[in-house]
C-alpha cells in the first residue's frame, strides 16, 4: 500500500473548458489540465465549451511542449443501447496522445483497458468510490492508476483511503461543491427528466427558463420548477436545484446548499503528508481569468507547502480566491467536521 511521503509534491490539475483556458492554465503553472469533447461523453457539456478534434490536437501539442499533461474526461455513463460514442472518444484521445482518461463507466473502463493497456486510467469522481475497497476493485479489474475522491470525505478518511490503496489519490482543492455524493444526484433528474450522469450537465440549457417581472425581479425555473427569484440588480447564478432558494417554514433561503466554494489551502501540508498525489481545481465552465488567477495561487501554494520552509496561507492568496468563490464564501466542506 502507499506510504505517505511529505516530500512528494502533488500534481496541480486544472480545468480547461476551451483551448484558451488550456493554454492559460499551462502558462500559469498547471502540471496537468483536464478537458472534454463537445458531446455528451463529458460531464460539462455546456454550449460553447469543450474541444473539437483539431482543438484537442492543438491543446495536447501545446501542453506537451511545455511539460504539462492532458487528461481527457470521459466521465458520463455510456448509453446502454449505444456506447459507441464513448468508445470513439477513447480512440480519439489515445490517437491524439492524451496522457490519461478520466472515466466512470465500467464499460468504457473495460474498453479502454483492453484496447489501450498502456493508457493511464483515472477513476472519475462520478464513479462515487469513497472507500479503498472500491478503488482497489477498479484497480485490479480495470487497471486504474488514480482515483478522484468525492467531496464528502473527512481529512482522516482521505488519509485512510490513501494508506490502503495502491492507486494514486486525487482530491478537489478549490471550486464549487455538490450537495450529493458525485455520481449519485437524483435532483436534476427529478426536475428535468435528464440525469446529469448522461446529459452532461446538472441543469440542461433546454430546461432553464428566466422570466422578468415589471418591477425588475427575475425568476429562475428549472424544468418548470421555480427555484429562485432575484431582486432587481441582484447577481444571478446559473440555476441548479440544490442551490435554489425556497420558502421553508415561512423562511426563504437556501434549503439544501448555500452557494460557497471549497478552499483547502490551509490543509495542503496535511494532504501532502497523507500521500495525496494530485490536487484538482474545479471549474471547466468558468472563465479563462478564473483559470489564470486560481492556477497561479495554487501553483505558489503547492510549491510552498512541499518546500522545506514553514507554510502559511498568504493573505494575497485568500483575497484572490475569495473573488472567485461562489457567493464570495469558502469552506473546508466535509474535510472539517468538528462534531466527529
Per-residue pLDDT tens, the chain, 340 aa: give them.
554 444 589 999 999 999 999 999 999 999 999 999 998 898 887 777 889 999 999 999 999 999 999 999 999 999 889 999 999 999 999 999 999 999 999 999 999 999 999 999 999 999 999 999 999 999 999 999 999 999 889 999 999 999 999 999 999 999 887 766 676 677 777 788 877 777 667 788 888 999 999 898 999 998 888 989 999 988 777 788 878 888 888 888 877 777 678 899 999 999 999 999 999 999 998 999 999 999 999 999 999 999 877 899 999 999 999 999 876 677 777 777 654 5
- Enter the C-alpha cell of residue 13: 490539475
- Domain(s) of CATH 3.20.20.70: residues in the chain: 11-177+260-335
CATH of 11-177+260-335, one of 3.20.20.70, 3.40.50.1370, 3.40.1390.20, 3.30.565.10: 3.20.20.70
pLDDT at position 134: 98
pLDDT at position 328: 66
pLDDT at position 118: 96
Give dist(CA 262, CA 283) in Å, integer: 12
Task: Name the residue among 313, 307, 312 with its Cα closest to residue 8.
Answer: 307
- Enter the C-alpha cell of residue 229: 427569484
Task: Name the residue among 39, 13, 109, 21 with its Cα closest to residue 285.
Answer: 21
Name the burial class of residue 27, with classes exposed (0-12), middle (13-18) and buried (19+) by CB atoms within 10 angstroms of its CB. middle
CB atoms within 10 A of CB 187: 18
Q: What are phi and psi of 257, to 5 degrees?
A: -150, 130
Q: What is the DSSP letter of 309?
A: S
DSSP secondary structure string for all residues of 64-130: HHTT-EEEEEE-SPPBTTB-HHHHHHHHHHHHHT-SEEEE--HHHHHHHHHH-TTSEEEE-GGG---
Amino acid at each position: 500500500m502507499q506510504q505517505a511521503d511529505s516530500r512528494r509534491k502533488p500534481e496541480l490539475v486544472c480545468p480547461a473548458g476551451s483551448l484558451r483556458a488550456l493554454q492559460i492554465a499551462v502558462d500559469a503553472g498547471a502540471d496537468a489540465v483536464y478537458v472534454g469533447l463537445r458531446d455528451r461523453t463529458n460531464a460539462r457539456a455546456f454550449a460553447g465549451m469543450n474541444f473539437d478534434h483539431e482543438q484537442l490536437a492543438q491543446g495536447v501539442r501545446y501542453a506537451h511542449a511545455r511539460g504539462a499533461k492532458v487528461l481527457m474526461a470521459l466521465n458520463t455513463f455510456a448509453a446502454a443501447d449505444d456506447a459507441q460514442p464513448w468508445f470513439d472518444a477513447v480512440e480519439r484521445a489515445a490517437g491524439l496522445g492524451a496522457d490519461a482518461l478520466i472515466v466512470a463507466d465500467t464499460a468504457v473502463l473495460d474498453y479502454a483497458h483492453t484496447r489501450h493497456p498502456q493508457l493511464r486510467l483515472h477513476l472519475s469522481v462520478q464513479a462515487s468510490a469513497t472507500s479503498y475497497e472500491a478503488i482497489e476493485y477498479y484497480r485490479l479489474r480495470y487497471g486504474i492508476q488514480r482515483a478522484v475522491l468525492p467531496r464528502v470525505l473527512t481529512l482522516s478518511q482521505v488519509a485512510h483511503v490513501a494508506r490502503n490503496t495502491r492507486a494514486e489519490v486525487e482530491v478537489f482543492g478549490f471550486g464549487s461543491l455538490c450537495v450529493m455524493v458525485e455520481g449519485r444526484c437524483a435532483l436534476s433528474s427529478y426536475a428535468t427528466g435528464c440525469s446529469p450522469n448522461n446529459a452532461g450537465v446538472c441543469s440542461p440549457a433546454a430546461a432553464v427558463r428566466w422570466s422578468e417581472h415589471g418591477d425588475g425581479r427575475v425568476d429562475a425555473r428549472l424544468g418548470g420548477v421555480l427555484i429562485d427569484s432575484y431582486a432587481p440588480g441582484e447577481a444571478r447564478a446559473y440555476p441548479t436545484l440544490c442551490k435554489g432558494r425556497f420558502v421553508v417554514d415561512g423562511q426563504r433561503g437556501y434549503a439544501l446548499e448555500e452557494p460557497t466554494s471549497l478552499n483547502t489551502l490551509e490543509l495542503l501540508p496535511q494532504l501532502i503528508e497523507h500521500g495525496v498525489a494530485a490536487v484538482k481545481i474545479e471549474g471547466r465552465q468558468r472563465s479563462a481569468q478564473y483559470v489564470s488567477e486560481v492556477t497561479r495561487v495554487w501553483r505558489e501554494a503547492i510549491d510552498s507547502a512541499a518546500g522545506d520552509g514553514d507554510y502559511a496561507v498568504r493573505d494575497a492568496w485568500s483575497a484572490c480566491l475569495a473573488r472567485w468563490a461562489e457567493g464570495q464564501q469558502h469552506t473546508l466542506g466535509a474535510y472539517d467536521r468538528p462534531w466527529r
